[in-house]
Amino acid sequence: MSSLGSVLLEHYEAFRKRLRRRLGSDDLALDALQETWLRVERMGGAQPQRNPVAYLFRMAVNAASDQRSAHARVLTGAEVEALMEEGTDHLDPATVTFGRAEMSALTDALRELPARQRAILIAARVEHRPIEAIAAEHGVSARMIGKDLKKALQHCAARLDRPLVQRFGPGAGKPS
């Protein structure tokens, strides 16, 4: 067993508690720890020079983020069939008009954003590009991209009079 694997096992319960608080779910915490274990095993004997506990926790948070991203983009076969069978016949004129108004409001909100925030929002939410890739493209840190993305989402939510729902961290799934 690698030294990182030993550290992971030694601090397993502490990682689990921290992840449960951070992710808002014990199941997500356990899944993240399982994925972290697999990543550590694939690394072999490599160990970071500084703080292996912090390194492993960050690895678990990244694993959880990767898993959420993957699950958010995948539709089940039943969902795809339901979407294909669903016609537009059930849409009444009021629903169509409301939808068009929403699209117009969103387009206006996007135009009001600074160019970089607009590009970040489109890259992250429409093109589903990783934050790290967006950060590299703009020559800034992933943290700065996260801040700009949050500002852009807050602006659009406010313009559409919608609550902004946090997707990660404490309070995930609740309007912010």
Residue 86 backbone phi and psi in degrees, to 5: -70, 120
Residue spans of alpha helices (H) in the chain: 3-10, 12-23, 26-43, 52-73, 77-85, 93-112, 115-121, 131-138, 142-159
Beta carbons within 8 Å of 60's beta carbon, 6+ residues apart: 15, 19, 32, 33, 35, 36
Question: pLDDT tens digits, residue range 86-134?
Answer: 665 666 788 778 888 888 998 999 999 999 999 999 999 888 899 999 9
Q: In terms of domains, do 68 and 94 share one?
A: no
Q: In terms of domains, do 92 and 151 share one?
A: yes
Give a yes or no: residue 128 inside a domain.
yes
Q: In terms of domains, do 99 and 54 share one?
A: no
Give how many domains the chain has, as a whole number: 2
Give a yes or no: residue 167 inside a domain.
no
Question: pLDDT tens digits, residue range 3-33?
Answer: 888 888 999 999 999 988 888 888 888 999 9
Give a yes or no: residue 80 inside a domain.
no
Give a yes or no: residue 78 inside a domain.
no
Are 112 and 159 spatial neighbours (Cβ–Cβ below 8 Å)?
A: yes
Q: What percent of the chain has pLDDT over 70?
A: 79
Q: In terms of domains, do 144 and 117 share one?
A: yes
pLDDT at 172 over 70: no
Domain residue limits at 42 = 3-73
pLDDT, position 131 = 92
Q: In terms of domains, do 63 and 10 share one?
A: yes
Domain boundary among 23, 44, 73: 73
Top pLDDT among 38 and 73 is at 38
Q: What percent of the chain has pLDDT over 90?
A: 31
User: How far is it, in rounded angstroms, from Cα 109 to Cα 156?
Assistant: 6
Are 79 and 37 spatial neighbours (Cβ–Cβ below 8 Å)?
A: no
Give a yes or no: residue 82 inside a domain.
no
Question: pLDDT tens digits, residue range 128-158?
Answer: 899 999 999 999 999 999 999 999 999 988 8
Name the 3-class secondary structure at 170.
Answer: coil
Q: In terms of domains, do 62 and 103 share one?
A: no
Sign of the four-CA dihedral 125, 126, 129, 133: negative
Question: pLDDT tens digits, residue range 44-95?
Answer: 776 666 788 888 889 999 888 888 776 666 666 777 777 677 665 666 788 7
**Mean pLDDT, to the nearest integer, of 31-40?**
90
Q: In terms of domains, do 66 and 15 share one?
A: yes
pLDDT, position 17 = 93
Are 120 and 149 spatial neighbours (Cβ–Cβ below 8 Å)?
A: yes
Both tokens assigned to 151: 């500002």
At 40, the pLDDT band (50, 70, 90 cuts) reads: confident
Give a yes or no: residue 170 inside a domain.
no
Give a yes or no: residue 95 inside a domain.
yes
Give a yes or no: residue 173 inside a domain.
no
